[in-house]
């Protein structure tokens, strides 16, 4: 039985054909990915997510949910614990937030000037704060004590000094301090 080996010219032709098929496959995959990105971008620009809340950054401090007297932690009428805060170059307002342990806490935040973000210590609390939009999420704190809350989105030359503190109190101690209509903060006003 004899085996015929292809000549170098035939081998080269086979290799070129294989490479050409591969290049068509790769080009098709890239084209599909680019098409998906274009369609997704157009879809999101014409139909944003349904739960987008906006605020006017020009009047943020004058009226509405994020006026200074409304910032901090409060127990709402339905017994939900809500924290409202504003990020601005280069600080968070309030600088220190008090929350109860083992209780769902809803954070509502916005920014006045640039994109900011924060992460709270050893928790799953992590969000971006974009001017003109309200970032909302709910989390629970299972360990009492103090945790740092740094800004994790570069916002300018003072970024490294932008952080706040979160004090987690036992639930009973927190509820004893909470007063209807008042905001809790660990910074004296």
Tens digits of per-residue pLDDT, 100-150?
999 999 999 999 999 999 999 888 899 999 999 999 999 999 999 999 999
pTM tops 0.75, yes or no: no
Q: Specify which residues 168 forms β-bridges with.
A: 99, 145
Q: Is the pLDDT of residue 1 over 60?
A: no
Three-class DSSP category at 105? strand
Q: What is the CA radius of gyration of the chain?
A: 27
Contacts of 65 (CB under 8 A, 6+ apart): 55, 84, 108, 134
pLDDT at 11: 85
In angstroms, the CA 56 to CA 132 distance is 6
> Which stretch of DSSP H or E encloses residue 21?
helix 8-46
Q: What Cα–Cα distance (Å) separates residue 119 from each residue in 116, 122, 145, 150, 153? A: 11, 9, 16, 6, 10
Tens digits of per-residue pLDDT, 5-64?
667 778 888 888 889 999 999 999 999 999 999 998 888 777 666 677 889 898 988 888
Tens digits of per-residue pLDDT, 171-189?
999 998 888 778 887 765 5
The phi, psi pair for 72, rounded to 5°, reads: 115, -160
pLDDT at 48: 62
pLDDT at 186: 79
Q: Are strands 135-139 and 72-75 parallel, antiparallel or unpaired?
A: unpaired
Number of CB atoms found within 10 A of residue 89's CB: 16
């Amino acid at each position: 039985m004899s085996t015929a080996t292809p000549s170098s010219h035939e081998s080269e032709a086979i290799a070129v054909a294989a490479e050409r098929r591969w290049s068509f496959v790769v080009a098709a995959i890239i084209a599909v990915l680019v098409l998906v990105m274009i369609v997704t971008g157009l879809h999101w620009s014409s139909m944003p997510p349904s739960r987008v809340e906006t605020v006017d950054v020009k009047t943020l401090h004058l009226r509405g949910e994020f006026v200074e007297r409304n910032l901090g932690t409060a127990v709402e009428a339905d017994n939900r614990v809500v924290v409202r805060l504003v990020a601005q170059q280069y600080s968070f307002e309030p600088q220190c937030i008090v929350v109860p342990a083992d209780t769902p806490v809803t954070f509502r935040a916005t920014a006045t000037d640039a994109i900011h973000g924060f992460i709270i210590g050893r928790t799953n609390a992590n969000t971006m704060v974009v001017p003109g939009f309200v970032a909302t999420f709910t989390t629970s704190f299972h360990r009492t004590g103090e945790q740092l809350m740094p800004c994790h989105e570069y916002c300018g030359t003072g970024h490294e000094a932008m952080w706040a503190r979160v004090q987690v109190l036992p639930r009973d101690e927190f509820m004893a301090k909470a007063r209807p209509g008042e905001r809790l903060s660990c910074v004296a006003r």
